[in-house]
Structure 1
Amino acid sequence: MIFADSESDLDNIINSEDEDFIYDSDHDTQSELDEEEDILAETDNKLKYYLAKNKITQWKKDLPNQRIRTRQQNIVIDQPGVKEYGKLADTPEKCFDLFITPKMIEEIIYHTNQKIKIVSQNYNQCEGSTKEVYITEFKALLGILYLAGIFKSNHQNMSDLWKSDGFGIDIFRVTMPLKRFRFLIHAMRFDDILTSEERKVVDKATHIRNIFQDFVDMPQILYNIRICNPR
């Protein structure tokens, strides 16, 4: 606290408070920053790696020693790419058969016909839409489902897809009747319908387990990601 001895001293104190004062620092801020940057740069130069933004990943500055023998587990035997079996597919149909194999189609047809024999008893025997399905017709069914996905019609009413007024898709109508298509979709099965309930107790996905597993295994058979020698 400052005490004034006289009125003149008081005026000087008041006037001095209205003035701007500039204080000179003994430290040079810019020089300190430059010095800190030099220290950081020197530290970075001493490190043998660059540190990534996540402050965890390290990138080595120098190439690894080429004279050191490559570890056995790092030796690449086969280059990534399609295997020889897959390269034999030179048409769209053959490529399709690589993923939806003839074995898978035969299995689906077999179990579908099992279902057809059971449900066809509820229909008029003279009605052609309840007959068993064969491979040619089944592939046509898969083709319709495939095209429905291409046309993004999976949420569209099936009756609209078979319309003949110009708003339907002609290839659907000329491939098979709508009534037959609905019946096959209803009857399609992927496993043995007679034993499915017993297997479902152990495996909830038993209805599609075999077909799904075959479908998952095929890309591993057809394509090589990378194979290394075991450790």
Structure 2
Amino acid sequence: MARHYSTQEALDIIMHSDCEDGSSSSSVDYEADTEEASESTEDASEVGTDQLESNSDSSETESGGEMEEAAAGWTSKNGKVLWSPTNTETLRYVPAARSLTPGPTHYAVARISDSASSFALLMTDDILQHIVSMTNLHGRRSIAEWRDMDTEELQAYVGLLILAGVYRSKNESTLSLWSEKSGRSIFRATMSHRRFHQISRTLRFDDKLSRLRRRDDKLAAFRKVWDMWTHRLPMLFSPFSDVCVDEQLVPFRGRCSFKQYMPKKPAKYGIKIWANCDVKSSYAWRLQVYTGKAAGSPSEVNQGMRVVLEMTEGLQGHIITCGNVFTSFALAEELLGRKLALFGTIRRNKPELPPILLQARARAILSSTFAFTKTHTLVSYIPRRGRNVLLLSTKHRSPDVSDEMKRKPVIIKDYNRCKGGVDNFDKVVATYSCRRRTNRWPLALFLNLVDISHYNAYVLWTSMEPSWQQQKPYRRRLFIEEVGEMLVTPHIKKRGRLPRSSAAATMVSDVQGAAAGPSLISERKSWRQCHFCMDRRVCSTCCKCGKFICKDHSLSICSPCST
């Protein structure tokens, strides 16, 4: 076991940190898959969680053989990479020019005029029309009294889902949402509970009879909508310099051939999505559903490398942050060829690592050991006794250490700053989520799609109008509520009958009255006998004289003829 010099004695061999760091230790952990959990190393989120310990007794005399080895460099475990303890031969990092201007694209800026239009750029008419046609097709086959749905009704359905999320009612029964006592008037004003439940049961995203075989494409039931939607994400926004690649888990416990078990995630079971998010805004720039390995095929080799390369395609001059599930020496080299830098935690079982960086027991607490090639930097940091945090970077080319209490290397500080891009995206999406309990995984993915759409729309709108509701600390909630109300309003204007609830009936009358003057539908008052036949108790009244009338003594007339 290698012994460790004091700072003065081993200055040319091992780079010690000589200052302290007091940054927050509340950063979020990255997680590996279940099959790889046994190989996981200490994440950088644990860096700085221990108290400063005395290391005055950690200095020992090192053998002359180790001195010569350090002077000659450190060879990796596979013998293919020679690491140097100093950065004298390391090239200076010069970031490439970014190919994309950060922020909303010109395409998005030209088409966004309000909050609803920013959401419409993601939930386009083509997507809605496809869902409407597939839902009507399934409805005619399965429900005898099915009434065809149009695009406005689907928008109203999505608007009610969004409003249920903004009211924190995603786990509340729909009967409670439509209740006259405990619910909200806007639900009853938009559509009946029976119709909402009918749409939820019938909602489909493809034709089951003409669907490709599941073994050819496990995502076939949702593939067309997913591809049409994910194609829009890079068209509307360009990320800033730092992006983060990680995984999102959509909670789902029903039957699904590619359902994943991830014990470190809050939901534990669900559908895994690879995500590439902008660190500054957490905008979801590219997403990819993980459908597992194909039946009968061997396990995928270098999956993490393949995922990062696909998720960063089209970027140039950006800096990629990822966890130890993805980071490898080969990936860093490949990204350098694409003019992209990489830094992230790396597992200790990687063959490109030198064995000396894996030793932790004889090392001083809060000490850092660096290793360099011409374009790569490795750091081994000891946050507490027996723990070793390893990071690889092609952006950082010098042994810089912060001058605060915990003496963290600058690589770790930058990693803790950038690694939460996807984790923050998960948090903000779940805050006002419209997810509802379902046994159909395509519907679970659609609800997650709606959540991501209204968050990305919020990023687009506030990037273009930074002063909008700036004084309000809850302006995202105001944005989502405004989008939901704009989606349901066109359908409320088309309602032919008032709901039974007086508050909902008043809301419908106000919306229709504001849209087209006085409504022909009068507000429901009370139950009385018909003024003409005196045989039936009715609640409908004449819009002109106000007398109570039954169906036999009433006449239906359209709005143009009434003027």
- TM range, normalised to the smaller chain? 0.5 to 0.7
Q: CA, structure 1 residues 149+60, in 2 after alignment: closer, same or farther (shift >3 Å)? A: farther
Q: Residues 53-100 of structure 1: CA distance to partner in whole angstroms, max 9, x if unpaired?
A: 99x9x9979xx879xxx79xx233333222111113121111111111
Residue 125 of structure 2, aligned match among 88, 102, 107 = 102
> How far, CA to CA, are the matches of 1:77 and 1:104 in structure 2?
29
Q: CA, structure 1 residues 75+151, in 2 after alignment: closer, same or farther (shift >3 Å)? A: same
Residue 184 of structure 1, aligned match among 186, 199, 206 = 199
Q: Tell me, yes or no, if structure 1 residue 162 matches structure 2 residue 178.
A: yes
Q: CA, structure 1 residues 38+217, in 2 after alignment: closer, same or farther (shift >3 Å)? A: same
Q: Percent identity?
A: 21
Aligned to 2:98: 76
Unpaired runs of 5+ residues, structure 1, are 1-35, 124-129
Aligned to 1:116: 139
> How far, CA to CA, are the matches of 1:180 and 1:214 in structure 2?
27
Output the amino acid matched with 1:101.
T
Could you say which structure has the higher strand fraction? 2
Could you say which structure has the higher helix fraction? 1
TM-score w.r.t. length of structure 1: 0.64
CA-based RMSD of the aligned residues comes to: 3.7
The structure whose RCO (Cα within 8 Å, separation 6+) is larger is 1
Aligned to 1:21: none
Output the amino acid matched with 1:104.
I
Aligned to 2:228: 214
Aligned to 1:26: none
CA displacement at 1:230 relative to structure 2: 6.3
Aligned to 2:71: none
> How far, CA to CA, are the matches of 2:86 and 2:142 in structure 1?
66
Unpaired runs of 5+ residues, structure 2, are 1-5, 19-43, 48-82, 240-314, 318-336, 340-563
Q: Within 5 A, what are the aligned runs for 1:148-159? A: 148-159=164-175
Q: Residues 114-158 of structure 1: CA distance to partner in whole angstroms, max 9, x if unpaired?
A: 01211232x4xxxxxx31001111110010011112222222111
Aligned to 1:86: 108
- Aligned residues of 1:114 and 1:193 also touching (Cα < 8 A): no
> How far, CA to CA, are the matches of 1:169 and 1:203 in structure 2?
41
Q: CA, structure 1 residues 158+82, in 2 after alignment: closer, same or farther (shift >3 Å)? A: same
> How far, CA to CA, are the matches of 1:170 and 1:224 in structure 2?
39
Aligned to 2:35: none
CA displacement at 1:209 relative to structure 2: 0.8
Larger Rg: 1
> How far, CA to CA, are the matches of 2:171 and 2:7 in structure 1?
62
Residue 224 of structure 1, aligned match among 231, 235, 238 = 238
- Aligned residues of 2:7 and 2:16 also touching (Cα < 8 A): no
The alignment of Structure 1 onto Structure 2 pairs a total of residues equal to 178
Q: CA, structure 1 residues 176+77, in 2 after alignment: closer, same or farther (shift >3 Å)? A: same
Aligned to 2:210: 195
- Aligned residues of 2:138 and 2:204 also touching (Cα < 8 A): yes
